[in-house]
A and B are shown apart, each in its own frame.
Chain A
Amino acid sequence: NAGVTQTPKFQVLKTGQSMTLQCAQDMNHEYMSWYRQDPGMGLRLIHYSVGAGITDQGEVPNGYNVSRSTTEDFPLRLLSAAPSQTSVYFCASSYSSQGVGGYTFGSGTRLTVV
């Protein structure tokens, strides 16, 4: 089924460990983004990409890296995990930079850093 696929669905990390959250879409969307969701905070933008080879920072980029080597994939890297990065992470994509068609969200990755 067409959509946004995130892996893994759950992950527990120890402080200082690194990992990559995977995101793939098969809709040929140019625009992809990563959000984190925390209770009472809504969704906050971490990084986004407007096409292969182009990325930029969002509202809360510290501690995260991204790259976009293909249209389909947009992985999010945690360089050295901290308890403050415990959150639910969502990847989203859209064919329009203004979200005119609406954004398609993945089902999320629930990350716990201990």
Chain B
Amino acid sequence: AQSVTQLDSQVPVFEEAPVELRCNYSSSVSVYLFWYVQYPNQGLQLLLKYLSGSTLVKGINGFEAEFNKSQTSFHLRKPSVHISDTAEYFCAVSKGSNYKLTFGKGTLLTVNP
């Protein structure tokens, strides 16, 4: 069974600092990878996705992620964060013909002034 590990449960940063949220997955087959964001008391919103092709994926709100097959990682980055980026971020994987989306446990990003 596939699994997703988000290495940090909480990441505090100051405004305008860079941030990296780490995600590793386990799967022996090709996968599709996603990052979702959840603002307080809201549902999940798709931030970006990797399906195939270029390993550097750009998403909304200035976020980007890099797929590294050899390290089975899909880390999320932003060069300069804003207060409004404070939210919980979930990494997720969908495998080949499998119909299930497996989520990590989430990383709470807190941006302080």
- Contact assessment for A100 and B90 in the assembled complex, using a CB-CB cutoff below 8 Å: no
Of residues 21 to 37 in A, which have CB atoms within 8 Å of B's CB atoms?
A: 31, 33, 35
With contacts A43-B103, A50-B99, A98-B96 known, is A107 near B42, CB below 8 A? yes
**B45, B98, B104, B106: most-surrounded residue (chain A CB, <10 A):** B106
Contacts of A33 in B (CB 8 A): 100-101
Contacts of B42 in A (CB 8 A): 107-108
- Contact assessment for A90 and B104 in the assembled complex, using a CB-CB cutoff below 8 Å: no
Find the A residue at minimum CB distance from B42.
Answer: A107
- Report the minimum CB–CB distance from A95 to chain B (whole Å): 13
Q: How far is the CA of A67 from the CA of B36 in the complex (A)?
A: 27
Q: How far is the CA of A58 from the CA of B99 in the complex (A)?
A: 10
Q: How far is the CA of A14 from the CA of B104 in the complex (A)?
A: 31
Find the B residue at minimum CB distance from A31.
Answer: B99
Contacts of A56 in B (CB 8 A): 99
Contacts of B46 in A (CB 8 A): 102-104
Asked if B105 is an interface residue, CB under 8 A from chain A, the answer is yes
Range of interface residues on B (Cβ < 8 Å): 20 to 34
Contacts of B97 in A (CB 8 A): 97-98
- Contact assessment for A100 and B51 in the assembled complex, using a CB-CB cutoff below 8 Å: yes
- Contact assessment for A40 and B105 in the assembled complex, using a CB-CB cutoff below 8 Å: yes
- Contact assessment for B100 and A105 in the assembled complex, using a CB-CB cutoff below 8 Å: no
- Report the minimum CB–CB distance from B9 to chain A (whole Å): 7
Q: How far is the CA of A80 from the CA of B34 in the complex (A)?
A: 34
Find the A residue at minimum CB distance from B99.
Answer: A97
- Report the minimum CB–CB distance from B98 to chain A (whole Å): 8
- Contact assessment for A48 and B100 in the assembled complex, using a CB-CB cutoff below 8 Å: yes
Q: How far is the CA of A38 from the CA of B12 in the complex (A)?
A: 21
Q: Which 8 residue pairs spanning A and B have beta carbons closest together?
A: A102-B46, A105-B43, A42-B105, A43-B103, A42-B103, A105-B44, A99-B94, A107-B43
A-B contact pairs, 21 of them (CB 8 A): A4-B43, A31-B99, A35-B103, A40-B9, A42-B105, A44-B103, A45-B102, A48-B99, A48-B100, A50-B99, A56-B99, A59-B100, A97-B97, A98-B32, A98-B96, A100-B49, A103-B44, A103-B46, A103-B101, A107-B42, A108-B42
